[in-house]
Structure 1
Amino acid sequence: METFAPTALKELVVTDSARGPECPAPEGGGLVRTLLCKLDGFAPLTEQDRAALVGLTGYARPIERHTVLAEQECVVDHALIVLAGFAGRSKRRASGRRQILAYLLPGDLCDRGALHGYPLDHAIETLSPCRIAKVPRAAYLDLLGRHPRIALAVQRARLAEEATAREWVANIGMRSGLERTAHLLCELLERLGSIGAVSDGQFDLPLTQMDPAETLGLSSVHVNRVLQALRRDGLISLRGHRLRILAPRRLSQLAEFEAGYL
């Protein structure tokens, strides 16, 4: 499958843009650094909280691209935590056509099964090679029970994810293809910047050709044309899986992007 890297896009000079915060992890916590950054942004964590989260590394495993982590309508008995890579929530029609409903970035959690045991109304799958922690329900509930700050941070993260889902609906319903794409890129810049994964306005975008199309409700040809237009206007550059936001203010103005929902 083709990767998300149109050959027409050539690298440009980057301007200074969003930079991620410094998020030092406790000793041995490199693997969960993004999780610590994310949750600490929603509720300040204690050293005991951080140490407990570092303990989740024992559940982490490498997962290949396009691996289904949870099938639609299944009841999972564990929480999933993305520690590296991109995963996503999606729905498929009987024809095989897919709509990506959400990106799960490093530090994001999927805990509906662990908390409630409800069947999922969507599938969860990896969009790139990932590192995923699969935490059994008992261990996850014990973590939340013993660490109320972590529980509060997880609750606030869930609210932000719900707000993001509403913004994606508005994106598809009210914006042009150019505006949709610009909005998604602004959102990724903000989300990845919050976990320290943005440097000089650039970040990894390890998606295939079809992933952004199935996210934005556009064809892959349309997405490529939009990306080329953004490049011609000096807003972005893309080489391989590395995206640079060259003019973040102009891009956000184009998309009418406001980061408050995150």
Structure 2
Amino acid sequence: MNILAQITSFDPVVTTAARVPRHSREEEHDGGPCTFASRLAGLIPLTLQDLAAIDGLIGYARPVERHTMLLDQGCVADHALVILDGFACRHKRRMSGRRQIVSFLLPGDHCDRGAVHAYPLDHAIETLTQCRVAKIPRATYLDLLGQHPRLALALQRAKLVEEAMAREWIASLGMRSSIERMAHLLCELMERLGSIGQASDGHYDLPLTQVDLADALGLSSVHVNRSIQYLRRDGLIALNRRHLQILAPRRLYELAEFEAAYLSHSPLGTGLPTGGPVAPYEPGHRAYS
């Protein structure tokens, strides 16, 4: 069981203040917890005390190399994980080694199953790029929830958003074509990265490989490449050295029938309008690939 092998030494658990290792101010702001604070503040207004508590977690941050198994499938963790920088994923793995990515973890996302519930994990969490990850001991995490109820509420809403994303991914696998799946994912990533200040005017870094995208979308790498090329030829996106630009956001949103309300757990959302309500379901219609 490999649990965040790169993160090996932490201060002993004593008082809440002493649990957080101290580092230089320069290190505290090097990819610091601002993404986590931005993520939670986008779900519920936070107080200065809440933000200070989040800032205190930076002492647990460590760099982690790409393709590191943070939590393996079946393990029981005794800590919470927060992705502060980089891309990671949750995935299910078969005995053959084949994987299905069930969600991408972006800066500001967290996993606290081990800290709150000591149940075996039914999936694995792995870094896809170089990351900065905070590994927060259970006692510290529970203290954070108990002393900052607004943070606890924000984290609860973050879980509701994660559940909503899972439903959208299931809908993509069952009802959307390969091109629509790709378009929907690119819209979702733009909204999620934009909420933490890492996407602007349709521009954001996309460090995922075609294999990563294929394992998330239920497609082959060939179909992923064809879908990207279609979106390029149609003038919807530009992709250069893993930097994506959405050239026609409204058209891309309409193609994917994308509405961003599920990402903020709000009836309003932040996405562009799709031009009207979804047409009623009619038996006999089916997705194409």
TM-score of the two chains, using structure 1 as the length reference: 0.88
Moved beyond 4 Å, runs of 4+: 27-30
Name the structure 2 match of 1:142. Answer: 143
Cα distance in structure 2, aligned partners of 1:28 and 1:250: 38
Cα distance in structure 2, aligned partners of 1:172 and 1:30: 34
Could you tell me which runs of 5 or more consecutive residues in structure 2 were left unpaired when the two chains were aligned: 1-27, 264-289
- Measured after TM superposition, the shift of residue 223 of structure 1 is 0.4
Name the structure 2 match of 1:36. Answer: 37
- The structure with higher relative contact order (CA 8 Å, sep 6+) is 1
Cα distance in structure 2, aligned partners of 1:52 and 1:82: 16
- Measured after TM superposition, the shift of residue 260 of structure 1 is 1.0
Distance 1:28 1:238, change over 3 A: closer
Secondary structure in 2 matching 1:207: coil
TM-score of the two chains, using structure 2 as the length reference: 0.80
RMSD of Structure 2 on Structure 1 (CA): 1.1
Cα distance in structure 2, aligned partners of 1:28 and 1:243: 26
Name the structure 2 match of 1:156. Answer: 157
Identity between Structure 1 and Structure 2 (%): 69
Secondary structure in 2 matching 1:62: strand
Residue pairs, 1:224-239, within 5 angstroms: 224-239=225-240
Name the structure 2 match of 1:209. Answer: 210
Name the structure 1 match of 2:181. Answer: 180
Cα distance in structure 2, aligned partners of 1:59 and 1:221: 40
- Measured after TM superposition, the shift of residue 94 of structure 1 is 1.1
Cα distance in structure 1, aligned partners of 2:241 and 2:201: 17
Cα distance in structure 1, aligned partners of 2:85 and 2:143: 24
The alignment of Structure 1 onto Structure 2 pairs a total of residues equal to 236
* Cα deviations by residue, 1:12-64 (Å, 9 ceiling, x for unpaired): xxxxxxxxxxxxxxx95961111111101111111111011001000000001
Secondary structure in 2 matching 1:128: coil
Secondary structure in 2 matching 1:212: helix
Secondary structure in 2 matching 1:81: strand
Name the structure 2 match of 1:244. Answer: 245
Could you tell me which runs of 5 or more consecutive residues in structure 1 were left unpaired when the two chains were aligned: 1-26
Distance 1:145 1:210, change over 3 A: same
Cα distance in structure 1, aligned partners of 2:236 and 2:29: 38
Structure exhibiting the larger radius of gyration computed from Cα positions: 2
